């Protein structure tokens, strides 16, 4: 084979792959939802940053009426094209079947049954946190499928509360029961849903950004609007990493109670 011809053919193939991955990245970002508008007493912002062109992070919102909102954040193992495909499937299945579930735990149980075979065949797993919030009562009900516990910064508090609940990651076994908990939010509270890409950001010494630094970053930016709070948290994570590079996909959803 002519080395020059081989090199040109390889460059063309690489260019075509790059274009396809860029298309996949664009479509994946377009599938992420817009922030819910018009909910009284609530301000929300969200952000997803894939470490590469495509990733396995996912968040979503389901607004059932004028006062009820479901919030979802999930993380597929890996941050490649395979993880992105499972993320898109998860979105489709959840949007098709979420309405059948009466509460957060039921939603995760239904999703686990529907995704089990595909997750098992692909040897991937999926963590998810599912919450339901009522603006009328300020009651947040939630369940977790092995996901990082969201942080709740109470108004006037220094530290954060972990919203943890027992539940196995999706795709490990069928028939899983997911514990559901609830908590009453108050004016001035800040809820932060996140994927582990933010807490597992490392500095030059290999040290993790971690949960405590994340909490301190939220507290330091607590007076900002949700979008600016996310900017502040990401700026601190990038400063911590030193070179500003992302080692994993990062997604954040911030809800402030007014």
The Cα 167–Cα 47 span in angstroms is 25
Domain assignment present for 181: yes
Token pair of 219 as six digits: 């507290």
**Tokens 């516990």 correspond to what residue?**
149
What percent of the chain shows pLDDT beyond 70?
Answer: 83
The Cα 64–Cα 48 span in angstroms is 24
pLDDT tier at 25, thresholds 50, 70, 90: low
Cβ atoms of residues 142 and 130 within 8 Å: yes
CATH code of 110's domain: 3.60.40.10
Average pLDDT over residues 190-195: 98
Domain assignment present for 9: no
Residue 87: closest CA among 124, 121, 62, 135: 124
- Output the pLDDT for position 196: 93
Domain assignment present for 198: yes
- Output the pLDDT for position 113: 94
- Output the pLDDT for position 83: 78
Q: How large is the C-alpha radius of gyration of the chain?
A: 19
Average pLDDT over residues 144-162: 96
- Output the pLDDT for position 152: 98
Q: What is the pTM of this model?
A: 0.88
Q: Which residues contact 237 (CB under 8 A, 6 or more apart)?
A: 198, 201, 209, 213, 214, 217, 250
Domain assignment present for 145: yes
**What pLDDT, in 10s, does the model give residues 194-251?**
999 999 999 999 999 999 999 999 999 999 999 999 999 999 999 999 876 667 789 9
Token pair of 82 as six digits: 């395979």
Average pLDDT over residues 104-111: 92
- Output the pLDDT for position 61: 94
**What pLDDT, in 10s, does the model give residues 42-90?**
999 999 987 765 567 889 999 888 889 999 999 988 666 777 788 888 8
Average pLDDT over residues 98-123: 87
Domain assignment present for 32: no
- Output the pLDDT for position 57: 86
Number of structural domains in the chain = 1
- Output the pLDDT for position 12: 62
Domain assignment present for 27: no
Cβ atoms of residues 206 and 174 within 8 Å: no
The Cα 176–Cα 117 span in angstroms is 14
Domain assignment present for 20: no
In which order are the strands placed within the sheet that holds 161-162?
A: 42-49, 250-257, 190-194, 151-153, 161-162
Element (H, E) at 95: helix 81-97
Domain assignment present for 173: yes
The answer to whether residue 13 scores a pLDDT higher than 70 is: no
**What pLDDT, in 10s, does the model give residues 164-186?**
999 999 999 999 999 999 999 99
Element (H, E) at 61: strand 57-63
The Cα 145–Cα 165 span in angstroms is 8
CB 26: neighbour CB atoms within 10 A?
12
Residue 220: alpha-carbon gap to chain centroid:
22
Strand partners, 62: 70
**Tokens 């972990």 correspond to what residue?**
162
Domain that holds residue 142: 43-257
């Amino acid at each position: 084979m002519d080395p020059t011809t081989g090199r040109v053919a390889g460059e063309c193939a690489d260019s075509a792959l790059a274009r396809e991955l860029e298309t996949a990245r664009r479509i994946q970002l377009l599938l992420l939802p817009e922030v819910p508008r018009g909910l009284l007493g609530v301000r929300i912002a969200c952000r997803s940053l894939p470490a590469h062109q495509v990733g396995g992070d996912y968040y979503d919102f389901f607004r059932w009426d004028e006062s009820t909102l479901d919030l979802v954040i999930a993380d597929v193992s890996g941050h490649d094209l395979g993880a992105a495909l499972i993320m898109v499937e998860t979105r489709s299945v959840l949007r098709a079947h979420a309405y059948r579930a009466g509460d957060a735990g039921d939603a995760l149980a239904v999703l686990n049954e529907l995704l089990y075979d595909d997750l098992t065949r692909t040897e991937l797993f999926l963590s998810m946190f599912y919450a339901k919030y009522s603006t009328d009562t300020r009651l947040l009900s939630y369940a977790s499928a092995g996901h990082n516990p969201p942080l709740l910064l109470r108004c006037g508090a220094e530290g954060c509360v972990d919203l943890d609940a027992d539940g196995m990651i999706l795709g490990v076994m069928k028939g899983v029961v997911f514990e559901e908990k609830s908590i009453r939010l108050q004016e001035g509270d800040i809820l932060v849903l996140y994927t582990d890409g933010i807490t597992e950001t490392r500095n030059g010494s290999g040290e993790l950004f971690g949960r405590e630094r994340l909490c301190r970053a939220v507290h330091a930016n607590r007076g900002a609007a949700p979008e600016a709070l996310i900017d502040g948290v990401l700026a601190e994570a990038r400063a911590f990493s030193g070179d500003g590079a992302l080692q994993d996909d990062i997604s954040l959803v911030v809800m402030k109670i007014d």
